[in-house]
Each structure stands twice: as structure tokens, then as C-alpha cells.
Structure 1
């Protein structure tokens, strides 16, 4: 019996290296009558061999799909998405074809859903809506399928990971704009199309308080906290904010307007828990440089002086030529 067990272990270990079907691995382990703990260890070894972490990058405010696909070995009874750094609470849990929000982390409530609620062809990919930098982390997907051994398993977390996704949410890169004094300048910023806009904030971090260039909330502009240098000089490019356009028009710019401008947006449905003010991730960062052009009048005066300079130089050359001629024409004393 011990020899048979050793041979069975050898067969499973060899199978782990060549078989990419997790369902087949569990079936073999069950046939050999391993304990649930031993099966878990074998399956985790399979995951270590065949699963590779997938990296996804995104910008704040976008929706992101985290891919995960189960096998075709049976119908799906439960799906679990977790993020280990968040503790025991789930990112998303679906049991018996229904989302289970009881143990869901508050940060993900009303922000996640399956890409295909019917889970056709084993697709249990997750849609994470309106991501922020706080969504950066490693996400793990687990699935329980009908026919999989559930003996002595009280929770789904004992099931192996079938997809590992590292999501990196980073603010967009900086855009540079150059303008001349006296002109109107458009600073571009566009929110997503997945919700009405609750608030828009344009700030310039280098300003003394208040740092707001423009603040829109409660369906109107809020001038109370606006920096005095921007009062009556800024307006949204589209007052209706159609298609998420929250670009800013800065009128009659001066060199004092040079600086970095940051655009933030909050859309309806986005969590604002524990936020006393609008402190979401920036969706647009603009560096504006207002540079004085060369003075045409000064340039014109310089061109007027050019003929005089030419006459002066010609005169110098003429005088030098006369002096040289006279020096050469002077008789040599030795010949006298």
C-alpha cells in the first residue's frame, strides 16, 4: 500500500509538469484518495508551475477588465475575487449565480461586476469601475465548479487561484502648453462617459490657499474658495460638460499664470466616503508656460541702426587703407 501511495505521488508530480487542466489534476488526486489538505497542496503546486501573474496598467477614472476563465469541466457554483492586502473581505463574491455583498470590502461596493453575468464558456472576468490609485494591487480569482470535491471545505478561499492580476493605476503624464500674454488658453481635461459629473476641480499646487483655480459642485460654480487671481478669468469650455468635457478656458493670460494645473472629477456613483473635499486622483495635469514674445518695436529700432553701423565700418576700413598707403609711399631714408 505504501509503495502504491509513493507511485501515485510520483504520477501526480509528473502530471503536474505536463497537464495544464486543473480539473484533470483534481480528478487524479481524488482517484488516489488523497485528503483535502493533500489535494490543496498538489493543486497549489500546479498553480505555481502554470500560473503567471498578468500585469495591467490603467489611468484613474477608467473602467478596467481583470481577466479570469474557468475550465469547461462543469457549471460554476461560486466565484471569488480577492486582494490579499485587504484582509478577509472580498473584492467580489458570487455564489449560486448571485452576488454576495455581505463580506465585500466597502471600497468595492457598487463598483465591480462580472464581465459576463451568465459566465458563458467559464468567463468570470471582473469589471472594476472608475479606478483610482487606491485600486493598485494584486487581485486573485478563484472558482468552484460542479463536480469538484468540496469535502471538509467550509470556505471558497481553500480553492486554488486560477488567475493572478497585478493592477497598476497611475495618473496621466503631464501635458505642456506654451502661450503668449494676452491670449485665451484652453487647458484640456475629459472625464469618462460612465456617469454624470458631480464635481470638477482645477487647482494649482504652488498657489497660496485657496489653491482652487475653478471649483464646480452642487451643479454650480463655487467662487468662495477660488484664488483671487482667477476670479472672472476662468470658465469651463463646455458649460454642459457634454461627453465628459471639463476643459478650462483661462482668459487673457499673463506670465503670472505660468504653473502646473491639475484637473480632478467626481462622477455620480463614485464613493466619496471619508472625503471632506474633492481629493480624487487627477485625470489631467497641464504645465502652462506664458512667455513674452520678442518686442517688435525694439527689433525694428535695431534694424534702423544697421545702415549707420555699416557706414561706420566702411569709414574705418577707408581710413586704414589711407594710412597704409601713406606709410608705404613714405620715402626710405637710406635711399636719400
Structure 2
């Protein structure tokens, strides 16, 4: 499933979390616009009392995403972009948990986030500051497609700087299908091994030459059962064996497809091909 999983305790639709190569502390997170997400972080030395938690985003300059000091929030120096949208996952900071909750994310939330904590030593005057976490956050626009059973839907996905690289692997999946995929393309050909049976002979890339990085999926003769959340993932160089190099993959597009019966409101077009709406606000 493109290294994507559902989280059961918060209302996320999709989330991808990977450790960045060469760093134990940097985490890459990909999520969908409109969701409430958690940036996970735990203080390295959780035995000492944490008296200050600072979350910043490096590209925003002055202003905190969140500043928590002496048991309460300090709003004075918070960047206005984060006003009323952030909180600590655990204000008690149990076991050093200083994870940040970021609500109603948009593509404008994409960036590098850093967490710093200040702890108190045995001496009440002793203070220690540590850089605890670095998180690279990528928020994808939410693409909504509404269509009627029997039509053809195009699920959009575009990969910057792809340039028809023959080593690129493309996987389209749906969140509820488990290990089976919708469409898998490797070595410049379709691989049917793990394709879900409901998509047999109904899907293809819009352009197998992938001109201008276009890896959009054509889904023919859609049915009610095609409703769901689709994900487009790209495995770049180094992914020699599918499903064996998930850290080399990148989630590029998330598409929500809703199919209704003929006669119901849905999104019909005169030519029978369904376009899409991008639901994201900057």
C-alpha cells in the first residue's frame, strides 16, 4: 500500500511515515490536505523534567509553531499561521512525549519542523537545551472525483522531473485493498501479479511514455465498488525489487473517488470522462 497506513486513534485518511536515510532523528511524513496530523517526537532524556517545548518551522523565520513553558502555552511569539491549530499530544509530557498536533493541514503546512526542549537538572538553576526532532512534512492536495457508474475516470498523478526514466516503478493502490494493488508498472510494462481482481482489464496509465511526468491512471467502466481513496506512489532508482525498497518510494498523489448509480447526482460530463476538483486552500 505504498508504505501508507491508517491510524486508528485520530481522524487521518492516509499518512506515510519514513525515517530519512542517514539520520535516526529525521522523519518524513506525507499526509492529505484537510486532516489533523501528529508530528511525533520524544525527548531523548525523559527522566529530567521538561520545562520548555519549542516547535518551529525553519522557513518561517521568527515565530514559533508552538511554545509551551512552565505548564502553559505562550502565545506572544507564535507565528499567526499556527494560531488555534496546534497543541501538544500530551500536555503532561509523559515519558518525554512532546509530539505536536497540527489541525486542518493544507499544502502550505509543508516544510521542515524542529522540536527543541529545555530540561531542568538536579540543581534547580541548571538548564539543558536539546534539539530533539526534525520532521519533513509534505501535505498533498485533496483531489475529489465524483462520477457515475459506467463512465471512465482519470485519476491524476504527475511526477516532477521524471523524464521517462526506465528504472522508475509506478504503483497505484487503494487504501482498503491490503497488499493487492490497482496497477503496477515496472521495467516499462504492466505487472499483473498482485493486482486486485476487480481492476483486471480496466486500468492503464494515461500515457505509458510518462511524458512530462504524467502517470495518471485511466479507470474504465467504473462501478459503485470503485469508490475509495487511491494513492499514486513512485519508486525511484534503487527500488530493484517491488515491495522491497519502500524507503525509496514517494507518495505523489491521493485521489478520492466517489461513484454513484446512474440518475443520482454525482459528476456526469457530456463526454463521459470525469475530470477532477482539487480541494486545497493556501
| Structure with more helix by fraction | 1
| Structure with more strand by fraction | 2
| TM superposition score normalised by structure 2 | 0.46
| TM superposition score normalised by structure 1 | 0.39
Q: Which has the larger radius of gyration?
A: 1
Could you say which structure has the greater relative contact order, defined with CA pairs below 8 angstroms and 6 or more residues apart? Answer: 2
